[in-house]
Structure 1
Amino acid sequence: MQESVVHATTTTRSGHRLSETDARKIWTLALSAAARKAENVSDLSDLLLNMPSELRSELIDFSAGTSKQGFFLIRGLPVGELPATPLEHRAGELAEHGSAGLLTLVADLLGTLVGYEDEKDGTLIHEVHPVPGEEHRIENSGSVAFDFHTENVHHPLRPDFLGLLCLRQDHEGVAATRVASVREAYALLTDGQRDVLRTPVFKSAYPTSFSRNIAGPRPSSGLHPVLFGQEPDLFMRFNSHTTTSDDAVASRALRALSEALEEVCHEVVLAPGDLVVVDNHIAAHGRSAFTPRFDGTDRWLRRCYSLRSTPRWAERMMPRPRVLPALMKITGVL
């Protein structure tokens, strides 16, 4: 396992700590963004241009997809006043809170903030906190370990980036966001494993966040490769919980990939005001286990997705701005 970046305190290739002046400026911009409820990136162009220049430049550079580690960590962000950590997931939680505006600005610098019609009814900002009775679910509401996965692995329009903003840390301060890059893990794979992982013999089941209301077995994607691209521009489509193959050799290659990702994993213990941005095609992410108390002060993150480019046909089918159409509506299109 590689050294954690938890102690990073200055600007590096993979992180940035805000000055108090920049933090105050960002929060003012974030409150304005939250109040506007912008339907398009252009609606926030003046705010995006006023973001602290060094951070703005670093995020734009990161969005080019050349990172080897596949993540960028921002520390020192304000989070504002907060209610108790919710005990259930409710749509529109903190809809006009500054943290929603902050994530919108970051997502729109990277690409465009988006949601999915068939995931949480298209909610753009997702709440990540434990829910009583769902501790063992492998999704936002759980507190058990969540192994490596790229987000929405089953989907033809997977997010290019995701952001995880910490509002509250777990009580013991042990819950880590775990990030592992295929560009760092690739050297640990054999040529044979690499070749197998490049072949379209894998399928990925829908995550539970997309299939809560689907009767019967969870549906799966079509066949796809797990690795694609060439060095240094390697990419990955993989979920250790849902990506499988009927081929024994391919299944062994998947296990080898999981082991290689574990070997190069960076563990980031997020504190309030920390935001980790992950390139969803380069790095898989996960979560270590923690123990919730359900006392109103449990761990609480907020998540956003960003997409660099939305196909015109998908834009025309969107049920509302920024929300990608349900998969059942686009079956056969891709």
Structure 2
Amino acid sequence: MTAPLFELTDQERSALWRQAETTVHHGPDGVGEDALPARVKDALHDFGRDPGKTGYMLLRGLEVGVLPPTHSDGEPATLPGHGTAGLGMLIAETLGTMIGYADEKSGALVHNVQPLPGEETRIEGSGSVAFDFHIENVHHPLRPDFIGLICLRQDHERTASTRIASCREALELLKPETVRSLRQCQFHSNYPGSFTRDSTVEPAPSGPHPVLFGSPEKPFIRFNSHNTTSLNKAGRAALRVLAEALEHVCHEVVLRPGDCAVLNNNIATHGRSAFTPRYDGQDRWLRRFYAIKSIPHSVREMMDGSRVVPPLPAIEGIW
């Protein structure tokens, strides 16, 4: 099964870029109902309502504008005020509410995913080694419902892939006893590196929580192959079987400039293949953003009009 591919026309591409360049200066609060071309808006709404079995869609043909080198003298480019951030705002606001996390990248709403010198082996956006299947922010009680990955620049070989695997496709390969184990509250998830980069103390893992939840036919997933563990032998065995099933149903998506992969973060896990950065200004570069369908009123009060979810210690009493 292939995921929906939506290709923009030249007219849609130009109209969306003009709007994106305006939006980035006013922020996502200014995104109106008619900000996107009708056909693009309808495609995103349809995906938001029904993500299908694969849990992702691919937008193709976005403008990415004029780009600086990915790095200069080892320092990453940040692109403040660039139209690609506006694209993220427009897409996120069409799917839900764009958010950031105070604990992650200082609350930034748009993240740059680019290799950094000396961080090649890190299991996060700054690394270049293979990154196995995970959802974003597995440890967090208020996880994003959607993530978007906009490709600005490919790796030199143009072979690095975003690897996407749906729990709903993997479910067909799992035995009932494995599914029962994965639905039990016997799993814990450690904080990802993007949340602990500046911390000197390792936070206690979240949990216990199930890995699969929701209806039997259309489950949701809470899983990070690097961070989710179980103290139970059967639980550990179930995690291994799940990882194998996700590998079996994996979609290898080689994003090219102007592509945006939009994932339902409760259905589609993702990872990346390894690549070799050269730090010559032309390395692989993606931009990532989050969207959420609803935020509890108590959390909204603490956010005080911002789009940044407060640090976990401030909200952990709500769940």
- Does the alignment reach a TM-score above 0.5? yes
Match of 1:36 among 12, 26, 31: 26
Match of 1:187 among 148, 172, 182: 172
Q: Which runs of 5+ in 2 are unaligned?
A: none
Say which SS state the counterpart of residue 22 (structure 2) adopts.
helix
Say which SS state the counterpart of residue 101 (structure 1) adopts.
helix
User: Which residue is 1:16 aligned to?
Assistant: 6
Match of 2:155 among 170, 174, 182: 170
Shift of 1:247: 0.3
User: Which residue is 1:108 aligned to?
Assistant: 93
Say which SS state the counterpart of residue 293 (structure 1) adopts.
coil
Call closer, same or farther: CA 1:62–1:232 in 2, change over 3 Å.
Answer: farther
Q: Distance in 1 between matches of 2:241 and 2:211?
A: 12
Counterparts of 1:237-316 in structure 2, within 5 Å, are: 237-316=222-301
Q: Distance in 1 between matches of 2:306 and 2:46?
A: 26
Shift of 1:52: 1.7
Q: Which amino acid aligns with 2:152?
A: L
Q: Distance in 2 between matches of 1:318 and 1:75?
A: 34
Q: Distance in 1 between matches of 2:154 and 2:95?
A: 26
Q: Given that residues 153 and 204 in structure 1 are in contact (C-alpha distance below 8 angstroms), is that contact kept between their aligned partners in structure 2?
A: yes
Say which SS state the counterpart of residue 84 (structure 1) adopts.
coil
User: Which residue is 2:62 aligned to?
Assistant: 77
Say which SS state the counterpart of residue 94 (structure 1) adopts.
coil
Matched, 1:322 2:307: yes
Say which SS state the counterpart of residue 163 (structure 2) adopts.
strand
TM-score by length of 1: 0.92
Shift of 1:218: 4.2
User: Which residue is 1:8 aligned to?
Assistant: none
Q: Which runs of 5+ in 1 are unaligned?
A: 6-12
Say which SS state the counterpart of residue 223 (structure 1) adopts.
strand
Q: Distance in 2 between matches of 1:312 and 1:58?
A: 29
Identical residues among aligned pairs (%): 51
Q: Distance in 1 between matches of 2:217 and 2:200?
A: 42
Match of 2:191 among 191, 197, 206: 206
Q: Given that residues 189 and 256 in structure 1 are in contact (C-alpha distance below 8 angstroms), is that contact kept between their aligned partners in structure 2?
A: yes
Range that drifts further, 55-64 or 150-159: 55-64
Q: Given that residues 51 and 264 in structure 2 are in contact (C-alpha distance below 8 angstroms), is that contact kept between their aligned partners in structure 1?
A: no
Q: Distance in 2 between matches of 1:58 and 1:72?
A: 9
Say which SS state the counterpart of residue 162 (structure 1) adopts.
strand
Shift of 1:50: 3.8
Call closer, same or farther: CA 1:137–1:276 in 2, change over 3 Å.
Answer: same
Q: Distance in 1 between matches of 2:312 and 2:305?
A: 15
Say which SS state the counterpart of residue 321 (structure 1) adopts.
coil
Shift of 1:286: 0.2
Say which SS state the counterpart of residue 318 (structure 2) adopts.
coil
Q: Given that residues 226 and 236 in structure 1 are in contact (C-alpha distance below 8 angstroms), is that contact kept between their aligned partners in structure 2?
A: yes
Shift of 1:217: 3.2
